[in-house]
Amino acid sequence: MDAAGAIATNILAVAFPLLTIPWIVGGCGVEQYGILALSQAITAVAAIFVEGGSNAASNVRYASLVQPVLIRVVIVSHTSFKLVNFLFTLPVLIGVAYLTSNFILISLLPILLAEVFQPYALCARLGFSHIVAMSTFGGRLLSLILVYFSTVRGDGIQILAFELALGLLVANLIAYMYGVFSIGVWGGQWGGKRAVIRYISFWKRIKWFGVSRGLGAIKERMAILFSAVIFDTVAVAILDVVLKIVNAINSPLFIVSNHFLLWANRINDEVFFKWLSFWLILASCSTAVVLSFLSAELLGYFGIDLLAEYEPFSFIYFSVIPTFISAVVGNYYLLKNGLVRRFVESGVVGFFVYMTFLLVSFLLGGAGSVMFFVIAFFAGQISEGVYRLFFGWKYVAR
């Protein structure tokens, strides 16, 4: 039930945004959708600073807790940490909105608050992943209904943006409050100074999680931000849809690659994993080929035309292959052997290679930069995978 809930939550998180795109584009136009996608990318970067790597770190911490008193300490400390970050980030994002006259950012502020009450780590520890899935479904369905009626009424993009953000906030709050009340956070013993000191010592180890989570999330959003600077809002709209489809493909692949780590600890059969990896890579490659050929038709379904100058964006579908290989190598060769620092370092290497190609694309400018922009997706993942493979094999060979 718990694993099924986690998978369902993952699928819902990538499926619902795709369902809303045709209505938004149909109601507001491609350029307005491009501005919304850019605003969501900026807000997502702000949310990284609110989260600060604490979700991944707390997930590890929750797993080792048994006593309710310590879980209470983690809940309050974790939420307080993100609430303080939220209060510092909020005026910055509002300032950016007024400086750029992009008031859609104001409408997306509930996304930052939703990050404060992110329920995944808590509910996973308590065995309530199915509650997260149900609350995610309810929140996303609320957004879907609100967006539908707004497009029928002809509401502006700011209203639509708020409705999308509101669904995420409602989903997170429902699951978070369910977990909080189930553990009795408002009552019982707190363990005094000893419990607090033990938790403070945990925050000293958060830096690696923060670096890994931060670079990974920023990397996803930089493509949207750079495309807005280099190209135009139509390019942003095209790229956003393509990346959402890529994320929909990567979602089940990441779940499988994460299970590799669990299976590897139970079934020490390297040949089995090589064959399984081979067939999954072949399946992802076939999917990428099909999506690449059907890219124009897919974008047409969302109400967006694939302009000739942006046709190379279709090759981004193939980035799922090096992404999957890198994830498998990282889980099987590094995390399995406790090489967490090397795992984080590989993400740093991939991020800087990725950013280098984006900068080259920016310096070239115009249509000639499109191919370098696309190559960035492959270069970052390939360099990350090579780094992981090198140190993984080096460790195994010792």
pTM: 0.82
Using alpha carbons only, how large is the chain's radius of gyration in Å?
A: 21
How large is the average pLDDT for residues 242-256?
A: 78
How large is the average pLDDT for residues 224-249?
A: 87
Cβ-contact 157, 32 below 8 angstroms: yes
Question: What average pLDDT does the chain have?
Answer: 78
Which SS3 state, helix, strand or coil, does residue 67 take? coil
Alpha-carbon distance of 366 to 231, in angstroms, equals 7
Looking at the chain, the whole-number percentage of residues with pLDDT higher than 90 is 10
Whether pLDDT at 319 is above 60: yes
Give the pLDDT of residue 261. Answer: 56
Give the pLDDT of residue 270. Answer: 63
Q: Which of 171, 183, 185 is nearest to 80 (CA)?
A: 185
Whether pLDDT at 191 is above 80: no
Show the tokens assigned to 251.
Answer: 């979602």
Q: pLDDT of 59-106, one tens digit each?
A: 545 545 445 556 666 677 778 778 888 999 999 999 999 988 888 999
Cβ-contact 336, 261 below 8 angstroms: yes
Whether pLDDT at 303 is above 90: no
How large is the average pLDDT for residues 190-200?
A: 51
How large is the average pLDDT for residues 342-348?
A: 81
Q: Which of 10-14, 47-51, 268-272 has the highest mean pLDDT?
A: 47-51
How large is the average pLDDT for residues 203-231?
A: 71
For 334, which DSSP code? Answer: I
Alpha-carbon distance of 343 to 335, in angstroms, equals 7
Dihedral angle computed from the Cα positions of residues 343, 344, 346 and 351, in that order, rounded to the nearest 10 degrees: 150
Give the pLDDT of residue 57. Answer: 53
Give the pLDDT of residue 213. Answer: 62
Query: What pLDDT band is residue 209 in, cutting at 50, 70 and 90?
Result: low
Give the pLDDT of residue 260. Answer: 59
Q: pLDDT of 18-58, one tens digit each?
A: 888 888 888 888 888 999 999 998 998 888 888 776 665 55
Looking at the chain, the whole-number percentage of residues with pLDDT higher than 70 is 73
Q: pLDDT of 125-146, one tens digit each?
A: 667 777 888 888 899 899 989 9
